[in-house]
Structure 1
Amino acid sequence: MDLSVIGHHLERLDEQSTTGFRFQCFPISGDVEVLKVTVEGREELPLFISVSDDQILCISYLWDERQVAPDRRQAMLEAMLDMNIPMPLSAFARLDDWYVVFGALSLNSALDDIEHELAVLSDNCLEVIEDMAEFLL
């Protein structure tokens, strides 16, 4: 799956979107090609898509370690573990000092499935930020 194909599909959906979302896509060049995807009305929580030999990875950065209340960190980690299974199509991880929510898809995923994953991931980010606010500074 090529990132430009994903980006083109997402941007031309407009009224035909099965999720009701509108997307804007911005390619980011580097050692690993990344597609930055913003959901209209949720621009502060961009989604990042990369494609490897094995999977399509969709990530959203939530907060960094400096934003976690030190005395609440352990409770936050336990809450994240408890949320991992019931959170649809997504899981928590940490990249460097950043806490993230991610979802992975098969390279053979249909474009509609990728759109659905991004919509669910975006919804999950909003829910997680609301649920985890008590652990943040």
Structure 2
Amino acid sequence: MNIHKIADHLNGLGDDSLTGLGFDCQPISGDVDVLQITINGREELPVFLSVTEDQVLCITYLWGEDEVKVEKRTEMLEAMLEMSIPMPLSSFSKIADKYVIFGALSISSAFADIEHELAVLSNNAIEVIDDMDEFLV
């Protein structure tokens, strides 16, 4: 399993998508190869996918620290912790000054499982942004 096989699969789905979503995948070369996956109609929230020896990691950037109302930051973090368990297949983290939502799958996951994870992660990102609006400037 590598990002190029995943990109070929997702780009080739067309109307055969199990999730009803359309995907546009662009590989990004670097120390770790990353696949930027844009979901049609959700261009502002791309998913970044990387493959390691034992997992497929999917990350979506939500907002930056500079977008959080300072006086509401602690309340926001508590709300994120409370939301974490009932939010299927996704968890919160922070990369530098950016808040993210992520999910991971086994390297042996089927393409259908990866497509499902991408759809759920994207749906969860939209829900989180809506739910956290009161904490953001």
- Structure 1 distance, partners of 2:63, 2:44, is 12
- One-letter amino acid matched to 1:43: E
Identity %: 60
Counterpart of 2:86 in structure 1 is: 86
Deviations 1:112-134 (A, max 9, x none): 00000000000001000000000
Q: CA deviation at 1:52?
A: 1.0
- Structure 1 distance, partners of 2:11, 2:82, is 35
Counterpart of 2:77 in structure 1 is: 77
Report the TM-score when normalising by structure 2.
0.99
Structure 1's consecutive aligned runs of 4 or more residues displaced over 6 angstroms after TM superposition are none
Report the TM-score when normalising by structure 1.
0.99
* Structure 1 runs not aligned, ≥5 long: none
- One-letter amino acid matched to 1:96: A
- Structure 2 distance, partners of 1:97, 1:61, is 10
Matched position secondary structure for 1:41:
coil
Counterpart of 1:4 in structure 2 is: 4
Give the paired residue count: 137
Two-structure CA RMSD over aligned residues (Å): 0.5
Within 5 Å, give how 1:29-108 maps onto structure 2.
29-108=29-108
Q: CA deviation at 1:53?
A: 1.5
